[in-house]
Structure 1
């Protein structure tokens, strides 16, 4: 499996999602956070986009978001129970397993996801995590977890011009949760969990300076 090619393709798709403003429909707004959706071009579900401003410079926000074992993400993100490194490909590319807890009052059972993750920095100062599902010989499907599949997903930490202590965070999720879940449950879960994601991220960034 060519992890490099798969990861770069995912990064290209994420960048196109960031730049393409067509077809998005708002499905939830909470304070300064807005969540949009449109049909995914990668699987039969939806692609979700979150937009929000976080009080903190891009490096601090990225420090909280960075997908790494033992990092801050597991501590503040209620949708992440564990994050495991399966293989390092390059300094900025790795294969990882993410474990998520049960959700929606137990209707959604614990899941795990195996992804190749690529970290990229752009000329405008943005920092991005880009991920998509892969297979890895060290991590076949496991008992007690439903194996889910992330399609091209990730987050951008974007500098706000003239506001060095503010960061625009763009998040993209298009996840096949697998299992036998009612469509209504899936479509209500993602917008809710994404607004919670921003709320928890803001608290985590604030805590860095307390």
Structure 2
């Protein structure tokens, strides 16, 4: 598998999601965050888009979001219990395993995901984390976890002109949770989970010293 190309294709996909306004339906608004969805073209489910403005420089927001073992994300994100580096492919592409706890009052059992993740910086100062599912010989499915599959997903931190201490954050979730979950459980989980994601991220950014 060409991990590098797969990760770069994912970044291109997220950029299209960011700029393509067609077909999104708003499903949740809270605290200046808007969550929308539309049918996925990647799998028989939905792709969810979150857009919000956070108080904090892009550097501070990225410090909380960047995908790295022992990083801040494991501490503030309720949906990330463990984050492991399996293989560093290149300077900006890595294969990682993410473990999530049970959710929805135990209806959703613990999951694990194996992804190729690309960190990409843009000329306008934006920076993104882009992930999609892959297989890796060091990490077959394990007992105690349902293997889930992330289709192109990630976060993009975008500077706001004239507002150095604010950051626009796009988030995209497009996840096949696996298992035999009722569709209604999945459809209600993601919008509320994404609202919590922004709330917890904002608290984490606020707690950081200036960067």
Report TM bin, short chain: over 0.9
Q: How does 1:68-87 map to 2 (within 5 A)?
A: 68-87=68-87
Counterpart-to-counterpart distance in 1, 2:79 and 2:72 = 13
Query: Normalization by structure 1: what TM-score?
Result: 0.99
Counterpart-to-counterpart distance in 2, 1:43 and 1:161 = 36
Deviation at 1:31, TM superposition (A): 1.7
Aligned to 2:181: 181
Counterpart-to-counterpart distance in 2, 1:161 and 1:7 = 29
Aligned residues: 210
Displacement over 6 Å in runs of 4+: none
Aligned to 1:21: 21
Counterpart-to-counterpart distance in 1, 2:158 and 2:75 = 23
Aligned to 1:138: 138
Aligned to 2:33: 33
Counterpart-to-counterpart distance in 2, 1:37 and 1:61 = 24
Deviation at 1:117, TM superposition (A): 0.1
Aligned to 1:172: 172
Counterpart-to-counterpart distance in 2, 1:54 and 1:102 = 28
Counterpart-to-counterpart distance in 2, 1:207 and 1:79 = 19
Unaligned runs of at least 5 residues, structure 1: none
Counterpart-to-counterpart distance in 2, 1:53 and 1:12 = 23
Unaligned runs of at least 5 residues, structure 2: none
The yes-or-no answer on 1:46 pairing with 2:52 is no
Q: How does 1:49-128 map to 2 (within 5 A)?
A: 49-128=49-128
> Deviations along 1:37-85, whole A, 9 cap, x unmatched?
0000100000000011111000110000001000000000000000000
CA RMSD of aligned residues (A): 0.8
Query: Normalization by structure 2: what TM-score?
Result: 0.98
